[in-house]
Amino acid sequence: MKRCVIVGGADIRNYDAAKAALKPEDYVIYCDSGLKHLTNLGAEPGLIVGDFDSHENPGLSVETVVLPCIKDDTDTVYAVKEAVRRGYSEFLFLGVVGGRLDHTLGNVSVLLKLHTLGKKAAILDDYGLMRIVGKEGAEIPDSCRFFSLLNIDGTANHIYVTGAKYPVTDGEITCEYQYGISNEVLPGQTARVTVGEGRLLLIEINQE
């Protein structure tokens, strides 16, 4: 199954990084004002969804789902549910963080939902990459400038971080005490993170 890329309407300043992350075989869904990125990304849509309250329906000869303005799901959440229904198991999000904080936090929480469903998902923004890490663990290359571990889902216990400037052994990070910010991968090494109980948001910072 190909990867699903979902494009939202938040600003993208680093189009080079966004385009470099795309693959020719990606299935791309543009959500409403995410269509403003169509030309700069150069990725043809497989599906367009939205209530078109922030962008005009372009009327392209592409499958388009017009959503009601009054609804529980945001356009992005609808796109996620539709992609899951169609069988996609890997996701990349572009243009979904920045600008309005409510939309940003809502979109980050989608990573938790996809992780619960056993899907692989990441958000790419102008600074780096975000993903959820739990018992399955994660690796961070030394090409990453900084990385942070944030708790957005309750208490996380039995945290281990190796190959980093600030290692952690059997640690705990709570939502009230976020001490896992701005760690660094040791030169020539690969940092490894595991979370024995709970899960964390892993943010890799590649640009300042």
Query: Domain spans of the chain?
Result: 4-126, 132-205
Residues 6+ apart with CB under 8 A from 200: 132, 133, 134, 149, 150, 151, 152, 153, 156, 159, 173, 180, 193
Do 51 and 32 meet the contact criterion of CB atoms below 8 Å apart? yes
4-126: what CATH class?
A: alpha beta
Residues 6+ apart with CB under 8 A from 85: none
φ, ψ (nearest 5 deg) of residue 162: -125, 165
Tokens of 17: 């990084």
pLDDT, averaged in runs of 10, over the chain (208 residues): 93 95 97 94 95 79 87 92 96 94 93 97 96 96 95 95 97 96 96 97 89
33: helix, strand or coil: helix
132-205: what CATH class?
A: mainly beta
| pLDDT tens-place string over residues 136-154 | 999 999 999 999 999 999 9
pLDDT of amino acid 59: 76
